[in-house]
Amino acid sequence: MIGRIALAAFAWLCLASAAQAQGFGQRGGAPGDFDFYVLALSWSPGFCELDGDRTRNREQCAGGSGLRFVVHGLWPQYERGFPSDCGPSGRSPSRMAMTEAEGVYPTEGLARYEWRKHGTCSGSSPADYFRDARRARDKVVVPPALAKADSDRSWTVLDLERAFVAANPGLRTDMMSVSCKRGVLQEVRICLSKDLRDFRTCQEVDRSGCRARELTVVAPR
């Protein structure tokens, strides 16, 4: 009996170690030790429709703001899982560093949060991390149908991905995913190489996309 318990405990420890090595929910880790980036672009009208707290997100969700895609985050990623909260460099960025985040994130609070959770794993300084987030955002072309949307519209996930593929040479549908909530578009997530020069495949991210047959792209209010 004791032997079976010991064997079960050993097996559990092996599984836990393997999961940590693969990066499932792994806190900490060596800054700069990751495989690629995910650029998460939040569709503001959809976010504000479902989750926009008017106090915390008043800059992003204020009526008439006209915001469409904004940077949610630039996330270091493993092939399986991701690191987060990577060490003591998580102290608050300086005011000078925060100027690099202006115009990239919809709120300063989000920029600070993203630095603590994800930027500390990049191996870059806060200022360089925010510059990289801007570079990643500027690399992605938003399809005209979304850049100019002025009324709610239904899309299939595949058609929305194909619109991004058509607007971005080198991008394929297995290099991205679409995130939805209650049938409403929330985010588009695009995978990029560590140097941000190229799009790249990302099976786990691709598989994690929206399962709805159709989704609604809510227009700016």
Clarify whether 114 is annotated catalytic: yes
Local structure of 99: helix, strand or coil:
helix
* Amino acid at position 17, single letter: S
Choosing from 72, 100, 161, 187, the catalytic residue is 72
Catalytic residue among 49, 59, 108, 118: 118
Q: Catalytic site residue 118?
A: yes
What span, in angstroms and rounded, lies between the C-alpha atoms of 95 and 103?
Answer: 15
Sign for the pseudo-dihedral over CA of 116, 122, 125, 128: negative
Concerning whether 102 is annotated as a catalytic residue, the answer is no
Token pair 């149908």 in the structure block, residue: 145
Q: Residue 213: count other Cβ atoms within 10 Å of its Cβ.
A: 9
Asked whether the beta carbons of 44 and 106 are under 8 A apart, the reply is yes
CA distance 187 to 33: 26
Report how far Cα 138 is from the mean position of its chain's Cα atoms. Answer: 15
SS3 call for 147: helix
Catalytic residue among 49, 114, 161, 187: 114
The catalytic residues are 72, 114, 118
